[in-house]
A and B are shown apart, each in its own frame.
Chain A
């Protein structure tokens, strides 16, 4: 069974540009999460989808971040416009309640 996959693995963009990160959860997992780890800090929750609906987006830092989950399958996280402080590793995860949460390898975003 395939795990959670994320694309791209790395992205380097300039301040003010737009970046879109993609996540494909484990097949059949209704719950999809986005997390972020800024350098030197802990991994922080961004938001949670149940199927295509946003269950909890309390961790989204501001309105420059937009997450979508088309048809309850894959998800995208768009940052527009990107700022320097957005640099970090963005993790996607999926689960079936109340099972373990399984993480993808992450996308390392660098904003110059």
Chain B
């Protein structure tokens, strides 16, 4: 069965430091992968998605993610974190090749210290 693992429940990063949030997936075929962010009091916002092609995907707000098939990973990165990046981040994989219906990881809460 498909699944998504986000190993880190909570991460604290200093403002200006780099960030990497880990995501591992289990899926039999080529996955459709997503990263979402939920800021306090807000809904889920799509940061980026991977369907095929270039394995390094650029998203909004300066985020990027790299698909590594050999490691079943889709880690999210940002070179310099801003205080406004403090939020909960979710990795997700689509349940089928149509790209519909997502399976989410449990989320990683990012805190940014000054």
A→B interface (CB under 8 Å): 4, 31, 33, 35, 41-45, 48, 55-56, 91, 93, 95, 97-106
> What residues on A are CB-neighbors of B98 within 8 Å?
97-98
A101–B104 CB distance below 8 A:
no
Q: Residues 36-60 of chain B: 1 if any A CB is under 8 Å from the residue's CB, otherwise 0?
A: 1000001111100101000000000
Closest approach, in angstroms, between the C-beta of A4 and any C-beta of chain B? 8
CB pair A42 B105 closer than 8 Å: yes
- Would you mind naming 21 contact pairs between A and B with Cβ atoms under 8 Å apart? A33-B102, A35-B102, A42-B107, A43-B44, A45-B95, A55-B100, A91-B43, A91-B44, A95-B100, A97-B99, A97-B100, A98-B100, A99-B99, A100-B46, A101-B34, A101-B46, A102-B46, A103-B36, A103-B45, A104-B43, A105-B43
> Pick the contact of A45 from B32, B45, B101, B107 — CB < 8 Å?
B101
With contacts A42-B104, A42-B107, A43-B104 known, is A95 near B43, CB below 8 A?
Answer: no
Main SS of the interface on chain A?
A: strand
B interface residues (Cβ-Cβ under 8 A, vs A): 32, 34, 36, 42-46, 49, 51, 90, 95, 98-107
- Whether A100 contacts B34 by the Cβ 8 Å rule is yes
- B102 contacts A101, C-beta separation under 8 Å: yes
